[in-house]
Structures are given as structure tokens and as C-alpha cells.
A and B are shown apart, each in its own frame.
Chain A
């Protein structure tokens, strides 16, 4: 072609000047992209951090790219296939292994102490981003399972003094019964968690087992899952759970969950969702642990709620790491980010944030502190196909809730199916 790149640039530059358009500043010859799933609040904070970074690092410009959770993964998969991933992407624990095993992310170890300062980072949360002993994802907020309850209803039903951190499944069942009676059945005790694999997983661990073994095989026995489904079935038959009709979807939008819709007094969530739940509700909410098994193992665990990862397609990893480092260590940035993505893993950051907490934020931080010594280790990384197993679990549980199949039989079929899915994914 006759038009060289330089000539093209000068021509267009000349045109831009003639048209009075702003030209990109010449100093900004390095640019990185940061892609996350968000909401208006998170987007506002993140763009503010980007502004701060741009100000502190002239010569590097950051392009912020955001979309909601559901669409995020579609776009990410497309960009991955096109080898056009953003330099830095937000990662979820569920998808981390899928992306690492397929080679889409870069190891962070070479940057530790070499641009990435992790000296003041809690060790536990750091572990969560490791795959096969290497760090692929930086924890930018931690998380745990939680049963959120409606404090007003608890008080009215006279169960406000329950020790919701240390309670057992039996106590939980009693509370559900008391609440249902106290409200005349208008508000049921709890959501039906039959289809919720995350709660079932806690149950499995309490029984000394784990869903997946270290090799990625399905190690849980059908009996444990059948017991879990039976437990909920008994409560359902007692009429103290949300109607079966509304208990078949494990991916409900927050607005449709029992406690928010006003159907129940207790619903399950992840702890970083407490603030969001409160925003949709008029009554104040409290945070309870998933009930314990009497004399059982700790079932809950603290897992990273979100990660930041460096991708294979990054052309300027050095600049990307600078940004990542600011994200966790620069007080200016961490103050803007607050607790929005979860509890930060840097104790200094937490201390600096404490005075400004809202009531709901305080509930979630207090909860987080209360459960520290009552949780078990992080489960081993999920194998390929785990996402599909989760869908299969929901389908099996749906049939149990509808009464189409007995828990024991459904559990046996499900465990076989789950192993078949894992085998196919290998």
C-alpha cells in the first residue's frame, strides 16, 4: 500500500489538529486494560482508582472496561478465543481453575517483591489464588458462606437471643418452626436450600468428607447428600420453609430471594452480599453461620470473593503489575475501594477503613471476625467440569424438592452423573 503507517498518522493527526480535536498526549505511550464485572457502585469506585493511578503514573493510561456478571463471562470467553484479553481481569474462584488450566493466565510469582509487594498480605487469602503451588490470582476481597436473617422478625418471634454463630442444625430447625408459628405462616422460617450446592458443600465437610478429592474425582458418598436433602425435606413437610415452587432456582436474582421478597426470615448468601441485601430491605439484617453438625468438623471456609489476574495476552505486564500493586497497597486507592469487593487482605487497610463503616458493612466485618476460628481449610481446587456438576446438582435437587424422586435414589444417580461429567471434561 502506498500509505505508510507514519504518513497515515501524520495525515490523520493533521486532520485532527485542523478539526480542533484533542490528540492523545504523546507521553502516554503505555496503556493497559482492566476488565471487571460490576455494578454502579463498584464501577464508580474503580474508575476513581483508575483516575488516581493515571495521575500518579503519567505515561501509563488505564482503560476501564466493565459489564454485569452474567455478560462478563461471555465477553471474556470471546476475548480469550480471540487472544485479546484485557491485561488485568477480575476472576472468580469458580472460574479460576478453568482459565489457569487452559493457559489463559500468567503466573504472578516472578513479580512478587519485584513490583508486587505482598509483604503485608494475609497468608490465608493469598493461598486461595494458587493453582498447583503457583500464584495466578491476587485476592482482592474475601468471603464466606452466611445465613442472613431478618432481625425484626427474629425479635418478634422471640428467637433474637439464639447464638447464631454456634448454632446447630437442630437449633436452626427449631428457630424455623418458632418463626413460622409466630407469624401464622405468613413468613416462613427459612429458604429451602436443597438446590444450593454451596450449603450442601458445608454439610458434606461437616460430615468429614469433601465434594471433590485432590485428584478431582467425586469423593462424596450418596448417603451424605441424601441426608442433606432429607433434612430439608423434613422441614418442608413441617411447613416451615419457603414454598417448593420458589425453591427450585439456585441462581435467583438477589431481589427474588426469600428474605428480600419477605417470604422467609433466613436466606443463604455469600458474606460480601450482606450490604447488597440490606439495601433492598426495610428491616435490619443480621449474619448467622451455616448451622453446625453437633460434634462435626467445621464446614464453612473463607474463600476469595474476587481476584485480579494477569492474562496471557498482556503486552505490558510491568505496567499491569504496577496497577495491581497500587490496588492493594496504595492507601489512596484502598480507601476508595473500601469493602465493596469483600474484606481486604491487608490488616493496615482494614484498620484504616474501620471508622467509616456503614451499619451493614459493620455487620459483615463483625461476622467475618467472629467466624475466623470456626472455619475449615479451603477445599482443594475444583476440577474441570465443576460448573457443570453444579448444574447437575441443581437438576437432581429440583426433582427431590418436587417429590418426583426419593433423596437416596436421587443422590445415587447424581453422584454417578457427576463423576461422568468430570470424566468427560478431562
Chain B
């Protein structure tokens, strides 16, 4: 289960010519220079890449949580004309292979003047572009007893109040799960940054990791592995912090 991870860690400490061709995990010498050297190996320091990734990730996670929980609330709890149609369309956006909408989307963002900015990466997330989270939250919201909404409605709560004060607090596990996934996926996202970011100063961490490898020529595998290990650190911290929120749901007895 964990062997591959140990291998990754070991490789990040090995001298370049020892990574391949020897199967042992233990490096002959501990080569910390992959870490120190790797951080500054590219024309732009990894500090910049981390800053960029952080900006994109924080905003995207916030965007995802707000916009997707809005849409999910509408699909799970509210009745309105065209609900089924829109839900179907939302599911369709999940099914279409991304690669064929890539070019029309690129042309669109280019016309907006957004290429080489973070807007194509962030704005769609505030507009609930990822149906995965909507569908996920819909499934969880539908599990919450209706009696709670109805009771709140009788008390004169608005739809927004119910969403904010009843649904969200009761969906903590789902929200935490969504936060973890959006954090990880945005942090590791590669294709969209590749297409939309041009200037190396704007690159995100996964994009920078690709700069180490040259299939046809000279690569820096040791440094790539070292930086890959480091790139996992924020994700692991975030994961450990947020998984705590996946707690036992409330007891519903007494409400029925």
C-alpha cells in the first residue's frame, strides 16, 4: 500500500544516476540538495509557484463551495419550472470529454482577454462549473429530514435562511468532503493552467513540476521527485485539518 510512497520519498533523496537501475529503497547517500537545489532550479523560484497555486486554490475552493451548494440546494429542496431539464444538463456537463470543449473555451477566454491571467481558472468555479460537487451535495442534502425545513418554514424562515441555518450546518461532512476534493483537484490541476498560463511567473506548482522533465533530453528527476514530495505537503495538511469535520451526524431522535 505505502511502498510506492516510500519509493517516491527515497527517490527524492537519491543522486540523479541512482534513481533508475537500482531497485533498493535506501539511498547510498542522503542527497538533500535535490530539495535545496530543486527549489531554485527553475528560472523562477518555487516560492512564486506556491504563491500562485495558493491564490488559485483558495479562491477556487471558496467559489466551488458557495456556488455548488447554492445550486445543490435548489436541486435538492426547491421546486421550480425546468428543474429536471437543468439537472439533466448539469449531468451532461459531467459526461462530455473535456478535451473537445478545450479549444472553443480557449477562444472564448482569449476574446475576453483572460488568457495568461487566473480568471479562466477561478471565475468558472464561482459559477458552479463543476457538476461533481453539485451532484455530491444534492445527494447529501436529500438525506436531511424534511421535517426540519418544514418546521423552519412554519417559523417564517426564508429559503435562504433555511439554506444557511438548517441545511449547511447539517451537511458538514459533505461540505468538508467537497472542500478536500476541490482543494486537492485544484491544487493538482494541470491541463487548465497549461492552456491558460503563458508567463512562467504565473505558473502553478504542477506546471512547474513539468518543467523538470524532458523526454528527449536532459531531465532533473531527483529535483522533480523532491519538489513533488513538497507539493504534497499543503495537500496533506489541508486533508488532515478538514477530515476532522467529517464527524458523526446529529441524532435526529426527538425531532420526529
Contact = CB atoms under 8 A, between A and B. Distances in A.
A-B interaction: yes
Interface of A: 33, 35, 37-44, 47, 63-71, 74-75, 78-79, 81-82, 84, 86, 251, 253-256, 260-262, 270, 272-273, 275-276, 279-282
A288 to B, nearest CB: 19
Given A39-B211, A70-B215, A279 B17 contact: yes
Nearest to B217: A276
Given A74-B194, A273-B217, A82 B17 contact: no
B15 to A, nearest CB: 10
Given A44-B43, A262-B21, A275-B218, A38 B16 contact: no
Contacts of B43: 43-44, 47, 64
Contact of A71 (B107, B194, B223): B194
Contacts of B106: 78-79, 81-82
B103 A67 contact: no
A321 to B, nearest CB: 21
Interface of B: 16-17, 19-21, 41-43, 102-103, 106-107, 110, 115, 194-195, 198-200, 207, 210-221, 223
Given A47-B43, A282-B17, A39 B214 contact: yes
Contacts of B19: 255
Contact of B215 (A64, A66, A86, A253): A253
A78 B210 CA distance: 18
Given A40-B223, A63-B198, A67-B207, A254 B16 contact: no
Given A41-B218, A74-B194, A280-B16, A67 B115 contact: no
| Most chain A CB neighbours (cut-off 10 Å) among B16, B110, B198, B223 | B198
A379 B20 CA distance: 36
Contacts of B194: 67, 71, 74-75
A67 B210 CA distance: 7
Contact of A68 (B21, B199, B200, B214): B214
Contacts of A63: 198-199
Nearest to B43: A47
Contact of A256 (B20, B102, B199, B200): B20
B21 A260 contact: yes
B207 A78 contact: no
Nearest to A282: B17
Given A40-B223, A47-B43, 8 more contacts: A40-B212, A44-B42, A68-B210, A68-B212, A75-B195, A78-B103, A84-B110, A256-B20
B42 A43 contact: yes
Given A82-B106, A279-B16, A68 B215 contact: yes
B128 to A, nearest CB: 25
Nearest to B104: A81
Nearest to A67: B210
Contact of A261 (B20, B107, B213): B20
A65 B213 contact: no
What are the 7 A-B residue pairs with the smallest beta carbon separation, nearest first?
Answer: A39-B214, A276-B218, A262-B21, A47-B43, A255-B20, A276-B217, A81-B103
Given A67-B194, A71-B194, A74-B194, A39 B17 contact: no
7 contacts: A39-B214, A40-B223, A63-B198, A63-B199, A255-B221, A275-B217, A280-B16
A82 B217 contact: no
Contact of A38 (B20, B110, B198, B211): B211
